Amino acid sequence: MPIILQIFRGVFILFKKTSRVSLVEQVVMQIESLIEKGHWEIGDKLPPELELMEEFDVSRNTLREAIRALVHAGLLETRQGSGTIVRSSSSLGVAMERHIEKSNLMETLEVRLALEREAAQLAAVHRTSRDLQQLENCMDQCRDALNREAIEDFITADMAFHKAMVKASHNQLLQELYEYMTAPLYASIRKLMITNTPLACEKVIHSELLEAIREQNLEDATKYVNEYIYNFKQGLELETKEGNT
């Protein structure tokens, strides 16, 4: 099976070509590859139609059909008056978003447990001094927001801490999977802040977790994540029961 090398504005794209692959499918694969390589990021607007036709050396109908296919798949979005926008960085991201949208908060927490437990273990092994500094900065922002009773600021800082921990794992796939949890993660943290007193919320300052990662203590890091998510789930289950009575 021949390997086709396509160059788009200095970006090299490799894809396999078979006799069954239509011109539309080739354009679809090239656009997908450019998005996955970060040439176009989420929220970016694609170049004008004529420009893309020239770059890909295809007709208007071929380009439009390829874009329609990607819009249907969820990678692109056509907005009135704004053009075509990148909606997701990969087909996996689209599938993840659709599943997450259908999941309830409890299911989200269970997935968080699996991802954050693995991230904590890997971070304890692979963290660098730069990773630790980023985690400490996020921790300081959390404390500051909590002292000011600025809930939204706290949520932003706490999310940044979680993402910094996952980044410290130095596992790219894990980082990408966790990124798709951003919206439900925001919802779960906000739920915790709203349903607890400021004093109780001190527990979401993850100083023990940071210390475990700093000391490269895999056991303590894993134990902390397990207990943190377990306690949250228990509180959520209790609140649900009380709401149903």
**Same domain, yes or no: 228 and 111:** yes
Specify the pLDDT at position 17: 47
Q: Identify the CA nearest to 166 among candidates 204, 223, 109, 116.
A: 116
Residue ending a domain, choose from 63, 89, 115: 89
Q: Give the C-alpha separation, 94 to 159, whole Å.
A: 21
In a domain, 242, yes or no: no
Locus of tokens 């996996």:
92
In degrees, rounded to 5, the angle at the alpha carbon of residue 36 between the alpha carbons of residues 33 and 39 is 85
Question: Dihedral sign, CA of 153, 158, 163, 164?
Answer: positive
Return the amino acid letter for 199.
L
In a domain, 245, yes or no: no
pTM (2 decimals)? 0.61
**Same domain, yes or no: 75 and 105:** no
In a domain, 244, yes or no: no
- Would you give the DSSP letter of residue 19? T
**Same domain, yes or no: 212 and 114:** yes
- The pLDDT-based confidence of 202 (bands split at 50, 70, 90) is very low
In a domain, 221, yes or no: yes
Specify the pLDDT at position 95: 57
Q: Give the C-alpha separation, 19 to 2, whole Å.
A: 10
Specify the pLDDT at position 42: 79
**Same domain, yes or no: 16 and 78:** yes
**In the predicted model, is pLDDT for residue 186 greater than 50?**
yes
**Same domain, yes or no: 77 and 101:** no
Q: Give the C-alpha separation, 174 to 120, whole Å.
A: 11
In a domain, 243, yes or no: no
67 burial via Cβ count (<10 Å: 0-12, 13-18, 19+) = buried
Q: What is the pLDDT of residues 90-139, one digit of tens each?
A: 666 555 665 555 556 677 778 888 899 999 999 999 999 999 999 999 99
**Same domain, yes or no: 7 and 24:** yes
What does the block give as tokens for 46? 């694609």
Q: What is the pLDDT of residues 212-233, one digit of tens each?
A: 999 999 999 999 999 888 877 7
What mean pLDDT is predicted for residues 19-47?
A: 83
**Same domain, yes or no: 20 and 67:** yes
Specify the pLDDT at position 198: 44
Q: How far is CA 222 from CA 140, 153, 212, in A?
A: 22, 27, 9
Cross-strand partners of 77: 85
Q: Which domain holds residue 26?
A: 3-89
Residue ending a domain, choose from 70, 89, 108: 89
What mean pLDDT is predicted for residues 148-164?
A: 88
**Same domain, yes or no: 39 and 115:** no
Domain tally for the chain? 2
Q: What's 23's domain CATH number?
A: 1.10.10.10
**Same domain, yes or no: 46 and 145:** no
**Same domain, yes or no: 71 and 189:** no
- Would you give the DSSP letter of residue 123? H
Q: What's 232's domain CATH number?
A: 1.20.120.530
**Same domain, yes or no: 193 and 232:** yes
Specify the pLDDT at position 245: 57
| Cα dihedral 155, 117, 99, 153 in deg (nearest 10) | 0
Is there a contact between 185 and 148 (Cβ–Cβ < 8 Å)?
no
In a domain, 241, yes or no: no
**Same domain, yes or no: 85 and 98:** no
Q: How far is CA 117 from CA 91, 109, 165, in A?
A: 25, 12, 10
- The pLDDT-based confidence of 81 (bands split at 50, 70, 90) is confident
Residue ending a domain, choose from 61, 89, 117: 89
Specify the pLDDT at position 47: 92
- The pLDDT-based confidence of 41 (bands split at 50, 70, 90) is confident
Q: Identify the CA nearest to 107 among candidates 229, 204, 196.
A: 229
Specify the pLDDT at position 94: 58
In a domain, 23, yes or no: yes
In a domain, 71, yes or no: yes
